[in-house]
Structure 1
Amino acid sequence: MKRNYSLYQQALFLLSSLVPQKKILFFAKAIASIRVSWAFIFLLASCFSFSQSKINTFLTPSDTLNKNRKKAVLLTESALLGTTLIGLNQLWYNDFEQTSFHTINDSDEWLQLDKIGHFYSTYHLTRLGAESLAWSGTTQKQQLIYGSTLGFGFLTTIEIFDGFSSEWGFSWTDMIANVSGTGLYVSQELLWNEQRVTTKFSFHTTKYAVQNPDKLGNSFSEQLVKDYNGQTYWLSFNLHSFAKKSKLPKWLNLAIGYGGNGMLFGTNSEALENGFYQNPRRQFYLSLDLDLTKIETKSHFLSTIFSLFSTVKIPAPALQTNDFKGFKAYILYF
């Protein structure tokens, strides 16, 4: 049975697109600790009985530059990213021999779904950075520069770390995906001053994970980040944005999805080396979707929640084709 997933599991997936899979357990523990911390914070908040009006006031973007907010955003995110990089270097890269800088060609693995994962992640990290700085009242130019630095710059640093590790290597195809994800966000802001096309993600469990749990994961959380057979990436197009004079609902989207199945290993040759035969198949989808950020509300709290959930494709009817050979309909697909 296909299942929905929590914000915790969404966070694990996003991290899986940033770092190699062997590093996921470290992040799983870290995110679990963050979960507890946030639960404690929300408990304190409820004890002090913050009113919704105060929350709205806090979340309302500043009309002019608020230097204190800008400093808070820069310091907080710099500290988080810096701590993450230091943790990676100390806990993971130190376990493997350092080599001279080298590159690898992994473009033929997992039907390129891992590359699309990079594209998805850099888009949303760039969006996160830009929207965070917009809260402080900075100019659009500053927002885009900062968002690009956060998304593309952070993943480039990790890719360079990989290039000096004997276990991994610098991947040019990863870099192309990273540039494309940041470019999708920045180009739309410059061209339309809005996001008409967004990247989204959905996941369901598959039968393949139990056949190779070391590669595809044992638990649901591991499968969420390791089982590419259950991952679907979407380009979600906001219809009203392309037809401003139409009577279409502003929140209605049409989404095109890409996924795959039949994969136990990254490549067919790797599967044969391990005594398995696999038959990977590309899958393409067409489905309806919602752009939650287009729902009009006076609550900045709700706007923030809608923005957070805009990373995920809602369950909806869908058409699927395997390598364009026949179609299959779903009442609900996610």
Structure 2
Amino acid sequence: MKKPIALFLISLCLQADTFTSTLNSTSKRLNDTLLLSEDPATGFLVDTGLVMAGITAWGATQWDWGSKTFHFHSEGWFDRSSKTGGSDKTGHFYMTYLLSRVMASRMQDRGLSLEESSLYGSLSALTAMTFMEIGDGTSPYGFSKEDFIADSVSALVAYLIRTHPKIDEYIDIRFEYLPLNDSSGRSDLTTDYSNMRHLVAFKAMGFDALKQTPLSLLELQVGYYSRGYRSYDTVEESQHLYVGIGISLADLARRSEINVLQNIFEFYQPGHTYVETDLWSRP
């Protein structure tokens, strides 16, 4: 009786290994196909151009680009009276960081060194986000110097973290979207701040001594979010700075050797995977 059970368990393990190997090889082939060009200079221009084209389409359909003459507008930072309670600033920081990392990875796949690819990735992201801000300058929003500063700082942070792999093991910058608050009047999910959080995760898995222990699954999260600042929101205005203890899904993915999941959870935080308490809040 024990022998068939053992054989069954071995079979399951082999199937799991085969599944993981197939998934990783498939994602690698897809990534190579989407690289479009192996030449770094051409790839840089193509990647940046495609992102800018996507931003243009979204800006024209969602943000009323071209409806105003170009102008500047001061939005403030995290003031209670600011337009989104500061969530658009953390949103700009996160988006530039994500673009920097994705673009840098693509440039490294084209043969550039860690430092070179990180530099080009940050330059590509900052170029695209600055282009977006210029487009906003022709809309009711206006060109925001605060957004531009957030983008610039984020591009630099992305470069510094990626070029220091040891620091990269300790720190993730993530985004959470959990639509619990009714905002049915929204047409633009990218600005649905009442259902978003942006956070920094400090991971125990960065410590070599903890990598193969259960403690590596723990991480300290520090994040910010605001609620109720959009015209369609049905909740009261509030701002929150919080700290949480979470489970490192990136480490779980690393242990399972599923590369695509590890990449996703480095930048995305699913809800209900941590416990939290406010460090500061303001109604």
Q: State the TM-score, normalizing by the size of structure 1.
A: 0.61
CA distance in 2, matches of 1:60, 1:78: 17
- For 2:155, give the aligned amino acid: T
SS in 2 for 1:68: coil
SS in 2 for 1:254: strand
2:65 to 93, 97, 119: 93
Q: Unpaired segments of 5 or more residues in structure 1?
A: 1-50, 62-66, 326-334
Corresponding residue number in structure 2 for 1:173: 146
CA distance in 2, matches of 1:282, 1:90: 32
Corresponding residue number in structure 2 for 1:74: 44
Q: State the TM-score, normalizing by the size of structure 2.
A: 0.70
Corresponding residue number in structure 2 for 1:289: 247
Instruction: Report whether the alignment pairs 1:200 with 2:174.
Output: yes
Report the CA distance between 1:258 and its aligned residue: 1.8
Q: Is the 8 A contact 1:255 1:289 kept in 2?
A: no
SS in 1 for 2:135: helix
Corresponding residue number in structure 1 for 2:221: 255
Report the CA distance between 1:102 and its aligned residue: 2.8
> Deviations along 1:196-236, whole A, 9 cap, x unmatched?
311112223344525xx3xxx27xxx5x4343222111111
Instruction: Report whether the alignment pairs 1:127 with 2:92.
Output: no
CA distance in 2, matches of 1:240, 1:277: 37
> Deviations along 1:159-208, whole A, 9 cap, x unmatched?
12323x25231111101211222222211233445513111122233445
SS in 2 for 1:209: coil
CA distance in 2, matches of 1:53, 1:294: 16
Q: Is the 8 A contact 1:208 1:264 kept in 2?
A: no
SS in 2 for 1:168: coil
Q: Is the 8 A contact 2:176 2:196 kept in 1?
A: yes
Corresponding residue number in structure 1 for 2:280: 323
> Deviations along 1:31-69, whole A, 9 cap, x unmatched?
xxxxxxxxxxxxxxxxxxxx76864764799xxxxx836
Instruction: Tell me: CA distance 1:53–1:193, structure 2 relative to 1, closer, same or farther (3 Å).
Output: closer
Report the CA distance between 1:278 and its aligned residue: 4.6
- For 1:255, give the aligned amino acid: Q
CA distance in 2, matches of 1:206, 1:124: 24
Within 5 A, what are the aligned runs for 1:86-165? 87=57, 92-94=64-66, 96-99=67-70, 101-107=71-77, 108-163=82-137, 165=138
SS in 1 for 2:208: coil
Q: Is the 8 A contact 2:194 2:226 kept in 1?
A: yes
Instruction: Tell me: CA distance 1:200–1:296, structure 2 relative to 1, closer, same or farther (3 Å).
Output: closer
Instruction: Tell me: CA distance 1:260–1:320, structure 2 relative to 1, closer, same or farther (3 Å).
Output: farther
Deviating more after overlay: 227-236 vs 248-257:
248-257
Deviating more after overlay: 148-157 vs 71-80:
71-80
SS in 1 for 2:245: strand
Q: Is the 8 A contact 1:60 1:135 kept in 2?
A: no
Q: Is the 8 A contact 1:253 1:291 kept in 2?
A: no
Deviating more after overlay: 167-176 vs 84-93:
84-93
Task: Tell me how large the CA RMSD over aligned residues is.
Answer: 3.7
Q: Is the 8 A contact 2:194 2:228 kept in 1?
A: yes
Q: Is the 8 A contact 2:85 2:226 kept in 1?
A: yes
Count, aligned residues: 247
Instruction: Tell me: CA distance 1:189–1:245, structure 2 relative to 1, closer, same or farther (3 Å).
Output: same
SS in 2 for 1:105: coil
Q: Is the 8 A contact 2:86 2:226 kept in 1?
A: no
Q: Is the 8 A contact 2:27 2:260 kept in 1?
A: no
1:306 to 250, 257, 262: 262
CA distance in 1, matches of 2:175, 2:55: 25
Report the CA distance between 1:298 and its aligned residue: 9.5
- For 2:220, give the aligned amino acid: L
Instruction: Report whether the alignment pairs 1:244 with 2:193.
Output: no
Q: Is the 8 A contact 1:250 1:294 kept in 2?
A: no
Report the CA distance between 1:154 and its aligned residue: 0.7
Report the CA distance between 1:297 and its aligned residue: 6.8
Within 5 A, what are the aligned runs for 1:25-104? 55=26, 58=29, 68=38, 70=40, 73-74=43-44, 76-84=46-54, 87=57, 92-94=64-66, 96-99=67-70, 101-104=71-74
Corresponding residue number in structure 2 for 1:190: 163
Q: Is the 8 A contact 2:172 2:200 kept in 1?
A: yes
Q: Is the 8 A contact 2:249 2:265 kept in 1?
A: no
Q: Is the 8 A contact 2:226 2:237 kept in 1?
A: no
